Structure 1
Amino acid sequence: MGRPKALVELSGEPLVVRAVRVLADGGAAPILVVVGAAADEVRAVLPPDVHVVEAADWAAGMGASLKAGLAALEALEPVPDAVVVHLVDLPGMTAAAVARLADGAGPASLRRAAYAGRPAHPVVLGREHWAGVAARAHGDSGARGYLAGHPALELVECGDVAAPDDVDTPEQLERVLRG
């Protein structure tokens, strides 16, 4: 893509700014953004009320970023009951999907968005699950290993309010831009 995905613009807005807006409009607070590549450039485009967390070992994959974010949440006062984990490269995500996932979330919550029954992002991780997720988050698997087959996992259908398609290539970005 020629630059970090967080800084790729869609309709003149960096994907990371769009993701923060969607989370905020969906009721998520506080908002933490985990940065790695081009951390200073990403930080420069974020609103001042966003907590920025640097994942020192971000190159090791999504798992490292997830661990850094969960550790930072534990340091907040008060510690949130749950977190909505959202990826920056999902331009079809909406505030309605975030609100639906987060509605009534608590420390024991374990939810994953589904699209026509197919699990995808974002996910909600209640505080009781953070240590287990962090222990199993390696490479680019993120929370996948923890979520797979977990008896508490609740799929929340979001296909009527959002699209799960990510943007990993210039061709995918072009498709999104064409609408």
Structure 2
Amino acid sequence: MPEAAVGTVLLAAGRGTRFGPAPKLIADLAGKPLVRHAAEAALAARAGPVIVVLGAHAEAVRAALSGLDLALVENPDYAAGLSTSLRVGLSALPETVIGALVLLGDMPRVTPAQLDRLVAAFAAADPLPAAVVPVHAGRRGNPVLLNRHRLAPDLARLGGDRGAGPILAGRADVLEIPGDAGTALDIDTPAALAGLSGG
């Protein structure tokens, strides 16, 4: 399968309520907004196009991503939860895209190499799996690569503030690959961001 058949969805629509009143995704980390770290990793990887789903703080996040070769789409129903943003992002990918890398905007330590490993594992599998997920320290992490064709009915039914985790649990056709510390780290609080900045 050609790698062109995999695109990327970057979820950047959430309110980030645990972070406090300031928009989490535009908080500074190493001189750039938090969300820009994830976006630049996505662009440096081989999968494309890169779709960014905006919602809460849309204009601030849009400004934080200025100058990057991204396709920005807005989710008017972002307050209904992560599942709505996931569907908006997947529907914005071209029909020819079979696999969708789903990356969270608050995961600044995910690397292009890790994204490329997910794509390579997906492309090498026969038959193509329902998903490829990284596992670090015994736990599944993010980003994940979803097979849009195989998971379409389940993704359509997904609701609330949930990603694809519930529909992947217990499936025999999910491929697990080694993750790393970056695939297990997301930023939910100012203290977590400060800890990362200090490290």
Same-fold status (TM-score > 0.5): yes
Match of 2:168 in 1: 147
Match of 1:121 in 2: 142
Residue correspondences, number: 175
TM-score normalised by the chain length of structure 2: 0.80
Q: Is the Cα–Cα contact under 8 Å of residues 23 and 98 in structure 1 kept in the other structure? A: yes
Match of 2:83 in 1: 63
Matches within 5 A, 1:1-179: 1=19, 2-46=21-65, 47-73=67-93, 76=94, 79-106=96-123, 108-109=128-129, 110-159=131-180, 162-179=182-199
Shift in CA distance, 39/133, structure 1 to aligned 2, threshold 3 Å: farther
Q: Which amino acid aligns with 2:49?
A: P
Provide the alpha-carbon RMSD of the alignment.
1.9
1:124-169 per-residue CA deviation (whole Å, 9 max, x = no partner) reads: 012213423422422221111211111211111122x734111101
Q: Which amino acid aligns with 1:119?
A: R
Aligned residue for 1:84, secondary structure, equals: strand
Q: Which amino acid aligns with 1:8?
A: A
1:104 to partner: Cα distance:
5.0
What are the ranges of 5 or more consecutive residues in structure 2 without an aligned counterpart?
1-18
1:9-49 per-residue CA deviation (whole Å, 9 max, x = no partner) reads: 21111122111111122212100000101112212232352
1:103-126 per-residue CA deviation (whole Å, 9 max, x = no partner) reads: 153594311111123101010012
Q: Is the Cα–Cα contact under 8 Å of residues 111 and 155 in structure 1 kept in the other structure? A: yes
TM-score normalised by the chain length of structure 1: 0.88
Extract structure 1 runs of 4+ deviating beyond 6 A.
none
- Structure 1 stretch displaced more, 166-175 or 5-14: 5-14
- Structure 1 stretch displaced more, 1-10 or 28-37: 1-10
- The percent identity for this pair of structures is 37
What are the ranges of 5 or more consecutive residues in structure 1 without an aligned counterpart?
none
Q: Is the Cα–Cα contact under 8 Å of residues 121 and 132 in structure 2 kept in the other structure? A: no
